[in-house]
Chain A
């Protein structure tokens, strides 16, 4: 009789321990279980033979790394990701063409958290309003509410007792005479779109000529952040290249500053220097805007220098603008060379800058997606900029927009990827790809150009698409769907 219970106890123990430790085997198998495959749409997959394509998929709980090498796709699931990793992935997925934005965001978060005691609330935090954190400053003179959204990309907001202003990074520029000083602030919505918020003493506003969606204002060079004020033809005075130094300076704005700036003469450079002393940046160079004739589009990095893209309407046909790329040497603090890039329509046109180590690719495309996108790769050789090849990227299908997410150039071949939603839309629809369609299955489109000829297009499909397929109860929570993080192209290592 006794023996039976001994056996029962032993059996319970052994079974429990073995089942619980068996989970390890289950986990190891599951980690390999993600399936991805490449569907050739055009050309031969051999075009990818001399590169390694690597990228990732992520959702709130896990991420998947994959790499494509010689037609073989290998995947590895990372079963646990932290909140910080998830936020980093989210940022990288939104600010795809300019990783400086999410690096800067992370850096400023860390600094703020260390110095000012700001914490991200976990989503289940029992606070009245999840996103609000009231913060008393040590000097006791002002109370600032900093609004941090724990799950969203980034919305930083400072609310002063005297008024409200929204601050992302400071962008100071000088306005038309009579309107005096304007402060440009930008912030991000949950979907990564950017809003520009303008305030002036008169409260005037006007239509934005260029909305610079891809945020070419910020870039990172040798560990420092550089910032450029982007302008359009409404701006007067100087646009500036600044080096950002002290994140704390961006944590809050002083109300008094607004008053001070309001009184100051926009063209007084001496006064500008005096005001700069209070800020966390060094103004490196002032670019004369020539009464609005020269406009600054954005900035990126090329060959350890800053590549500044400007445009002007001077000498261009009506409704067009001539773009030019300048190279700014930070060490010598001067522009070293310039290259005309071409003329493109002014309205609804967007330029993305894709820097790589030795080259930069400019991607011009119309936001209405009527014309093919144009890509231009520029290298810096022997002290001057040299445009290498210019290619046109047609829309693969009418439903698919031409927005490019990443470009890599090597030895006459251009590799690029796009994220497409494979949803047939009516031909005459105004803005394809503009709105969010929950029933669209996304996939990754990889294209290879040899010279100016499109030689391969392939679509990366896989299990992740099941997340987007319509379920009985459509989950509106975007965080439980696997999304793409940026794709990296690299040369294949030579086998000895």
Chain B
């Protein structure tokens, strides 16, 4: 366990400044744009102003997704760094620890990064609201406005659903995507064609099942961010959850197998 912590700290050292930069950029850019959005809204003489309408008036979600992808890219960097830049892989190979530990450390460090970006987005929304409160007069704001924005804004309702179960599915979706990227990098790095085919196959399966939903077939699961509007009844929720856990687990395991036999 202590070794795992050591390795996580080791990996996190690589992430540290980059992750901080991503988080600060996300916070700064979004709040700057929100500041401008308020400037524009203040030009209107008639109030009240809805918080969620202000949020929808600039590409807030785009910035978030870019940051999310960047944070996942940092995880990829952790994998590539070993073999390409410092060749520290060979150092690690000589250290007498099971190879599961550096692998788990890389995974956990990546997930921690992703989780951080997710949280920073929530913090950013709180900062938006602080700006909103300080600059829009009391009588021009909607009462209970932040809560209503979480229900009504497409972006917030999809990303931060207020019920724990929906939030869990969202977080698991992020985890699953991170795992998939991790696995894909390993597959490409080690030139495992069958693994690559498996990825494509999995992707197609999920895609087809998602499409089936739009074609009007009954849907038993939910993947990805959607408004909590399509509320899950119990079976749908558990199928989604199980699917996400199985996919993440499968990719982690297969990825680990490649990593263990690593010949890069």
Q: Report which A residues bind B (CB closer than 8 A).
A: 2-3, 5-6, 8-9, 12-13, 15-16, 19-21, 23-24, 26-27, 29-31, 33-35, 59-62, 77, 79-83, 119, 121-122, 125-126, 133, 463, 466-467, 469-473, 475, 480
Contacts and interface: CB of A to CB of B under 8 A. Distances in A.
Please classify how large the interface on chain B is, using the bins under 10, 10 to 19, 20 to 34, 35 or more.
Answer: 35 or more
A2 B9 contact: yes
A126 B214 contact: yes
B167 interface: yes
A5 B162 contact: no
Contacts of B6: 2
Nearest to A3: B9
21 contacts: A5-B9, A8-B16, A9-B9, A9-B12, A12-B115, A16-B116, A16-B118, A23-B160, A23-B167, A31-B147, A59-B152, A61-B157, A79-B228, A80-B162, A80-B163, A81-B231, A82-B231, A83-B229, A466-B143, A472-B47, A475-B53
A119 B216 contact: yes
A13 B115 contact: yes
A26 B53 CA distance: 21
Contacts of B45: 472
Nearest to B227: A61
Contact of B152 (A12, A23, A29, A61): A61
A149 to B, nearest CB: 15
B53 to A, nearest CB: 7
Interface in B33-51: 41, 44-50
Contacts of A21: 164
A61 B9 contact: no
Given A5-B10, A472-B45, 17 more contacts: A5-B16, A20-B118, A20-B119, A27-B147, A30-B148, A61-B157, A77-B147, A79-B162, A80-B229, A82-B230, A119-B216, A119-B218, A463-B143, A463-B144, A470-B46, A472-B46, A475-B53
Contacts of B146: 26, 30
A471 B112 contact: no
For B151, B157, B228, B230, which residue has the most chain A Cβ atoms within 10 angstroms?
Answer: B151
Contacts of A472: 41, 44-47, 49
Contacts of A473: 44, 53
Interface in B114-162: 115-116, 118-119, 122-123, 142-144, 146-148, 150-152, 157, 160-162
A16 B9 contact: no
Nearest to A29: B147
Given A9-B112, A30-B144, A16 B119 contact: yes
A31 B144 CA distance: 9
Contacts of B207: none
A15 B119 contact: yes
Contacts of A80: 161-163, 228-229, 231
A126 B41 CA distance: 33
B216 A79 contact: no
B178 interface: no
Contact of B8 (A9, A16, A20, A125): A9
A442 to B, nearest CB: 16
B257 interface: no
A12 B116 contact: yes
B3 interface: no
A125 B152 CA distance: 20
Interface of B (DSSP majority class): helix
A466 B167 contact: no
Contacts of A8: 12, 16
B231 A33 contact: no
A480 B47 CA distance: 17
Contacts of B46: 470-472
A26 B171 CA distance: 19
Contacts of B142: 463, 466-467
B78 interface: no
A126 B109 CA distance: 39
B150 A30 contact: yes
A16 B71 CA distance: 15
Contacts of A5: 9-10, 12-13, 16
The 7 closest A-B pairs by CB, nearest first: A30-B147, A472-B44, A33-B144, A27-B162, A16-B119, A119-B216, A5-B9
Contact of A471 (B10, B53, B160): B53
Contacts of A6: 5, 8-9, 12
Contacts of B116: 12, 16
Nearest to B152: A61
A473 B112 CA distance: 40
Contacts of B118: 16, 20
Interface string B201-242: 000000000000010101000000001111100000000000
A473 B49 CA distance: 9
Contact of A125 (B162, B164, B167, B214): B214
B216 A33 contact: no
B119 A19 contact: yes
A473 B50 CA distance: 10
Contacts of A3: 9
A31 B147 CA distance: 8
Nearest to B40: A472
Contacts of B228: 79-80
Nearest to B146: A30
Contacts of A12: 112, 115-116
Nearest to B5: A6
For A12, A33, A62, which residue has the most chain B Cβ atoms within 10 angstroms?
Answer: A12
Given A9-B112, A20-B167, A80-B229, A469 B48 contact: yes
Nearest to A469: B48
A30 B214 CA distance: 33
